[in-house]
A and B are shown apart, each in its own frame.
Chain A
Amino acid sequence: MTMNIQELLPVLFNITWQHLLMICVGIVLIYLAIAKQYEPTLLLPMGFGAILVNIPLTSAITQIDPETGKAIEGALSVFYEAGIANEVFPLLIFIAIGAMIDFGPLFKNPFLLLFGAAAQFGIFFTIIAATTMGFDLKEAASIGIIGAADGPTSIFVSSRFAPDLLGPISVAAYSYMALVPIIQPPVIRLLTSKKERLIRMEGHPKTVSRTALILFPIIVTVIAGIVAPSSIALIGFLMFGNLIRECGVLNKLSLSAQNELASLVTILLGISIASTMTAERFVRLDTLMIIGLGLIAFIFDTFGGVMFAKLVNVFRPEGKKINPMIGACGISAFPMSARVVHNMGQKEDQYNFLLMHAVSSNVGGQIGSVVAGGLILALVPLLLL
């Protein structure tokens, strides 16, 4: 019996330039994760997964056997169905994130919570921009949510509204989150004067009661549930994680949520998303448009936050003005955005300590991004009726 080389190495005869391109994309993501440390916990599994699913005839994803016509299940497709299609993985990540968030800084200056609303502007601006580029409303909403600067929220919304776009949306969301130190400073400098960047803000040195910190996640969940029940899964899981942290009697669970749960689910989340990064789905003009729109979302988030701070300052007396750079921290990229703004403030005036205010605004952004996700989940189906 003789076998020809095509039967021995079928992959070589089935590989296309699109597969090779996607394998290169996977290698680039791995490079960015390792060499540049851009969100390595997600980009590395996604990069490796992209290689796994783009080798022709791969057993990592479900394939139809050409001889029998039966589907042969692949592990990554099984993970995807088990954790992303039903939104379980992003929700588990929310428990972990909730356990990591300290809402204490918000109690010291709760007004800064409003910047967590203003800096979601990029989401909505991008939704409008995406519809002008030919995306339908569900796709546009999924692309716009990149501006939440919050990976799990992006995955949650896009897995429900546009699962075909999940791969590029996740890559864009995590890449731009890692690029916040590069994206935000020029936008902030463009929108603010040196005098504004020099504004010093009063500190709010006070302690926060444990009861208050325990009540906060419960009250937020109840309010969100009453006003927008469709957002309850997103906000509720985040607040559940936070309650574990703040209750003071579940330290072991809190640590597990912050470490083991976060690590395990992140591995599964990253590699499962990669199951959508097949050449057929990824090598399209849409992908480039999504990457471009993601950048627009981050730029207009920063714009929304800074401009809202400038607007607020119109009504505030001298000495009580807000440094407009604080507005830019209203995005969810925590603590990176707060650190960027603090460093920018110190570059202008080394005795200007903006970190605590920036952190408060940034924590507001973490809540704001989840609320935005919940509202979009509620509004899009209503407008499609």
Chain B
Amino acid sequence: MDPFNAALKITAIGMTGIFAFMFIFYISIRIIDKVFPGEALSGNSA
């Protein structure tokens, strides 16, 4: 495959992949937050 076509393919798969990853992380955050709702302030002082 020539580099230009390969770059187009990487763009299509890459952007879809990043959005898919972020969407999974988004769902994960929603679930974690539901199961373990806020009980303390975010993070520690480190």
CA distance A207 to B40 in the complex (A): 6
Q: Is the interface of B mostly helix, strand, loop or mixed?
A: helix
CA distance A97 to B46 in the complex (A): 13
Q: Is the interface of A mostly helix, strand, loop or mixed?
A: helix
Tell me which residues across on chain B come within 8 A of A107, comparing CB atoms: 29, 32-33, 42
Tell me which residues across on chain A come within 8 A of B15, comparing CB atoms: 117, 120-121, 124
**A207 B39 Cβ-Cβ under 8 A:** yes
CB of A95 closer than 8 Å to a CB of B: no
Closest B-chain residue to A231, C-beta based? Answer: B21
**B14 A124 Cβ-Cβ under 8 A:** yes
CA distance A185 to B40 in the complex (A): 36
Q: Tell me the minimal C-beta distance from A138 to chain B in angstroms.
A: 9
**B46 A99 Cβ-Cβ under 8 A:** yes
CA distance A211 to B39 in the complex (A): 9
Report which of A102, A140, A209, A248 forms a contact with B37, defined as CB distance below 8 A. Answer: A209
- Identify which of residues 165-219 in chain A touch chain B, using a CB-to-CB cut-off of 8 Å: 206-213, 215-216, 219
> How many pairs of residues, A versus B, come closer than 8 Å at their CB atoms?
155
Instruction: Choose, from A4-12, A36-44, A345-353, A371-379, the stretch at the interface.
Output: A371-379
Report which of B20, B22, B39, B44 forms a contact with A113, defined as CB distance below 8 A. Answer: B22
CA distance A375 to B18 in the complex (A): 8
Closest B-chain residue to A251, C-beta based? Answer: B46
- Identify which of residues 99-115 in chain A touch chain B, using a CB-to-CB cut-off of 8 Å: 99, 102, 104-107, 110-111, 113-114
Binary flags per residue of A221-251, CB closer than 8 Å to B gives 1, else 0: 0011001100000000000000001101011
CA distance A380 to B37 in the complex (A): 40
CA distance A135 to B18 in the complex (A): 24
CB of A116 closer than 8 Å to a CB of B: yes
Tell me which residues across on chain A come within 8 A of B21, comparing CB atoms: 117, 223-224, 227-228, 371, 375
| Contact (A375, B3) CB under 8 Å given A111-B26, A210-B40, A368-B22 | no
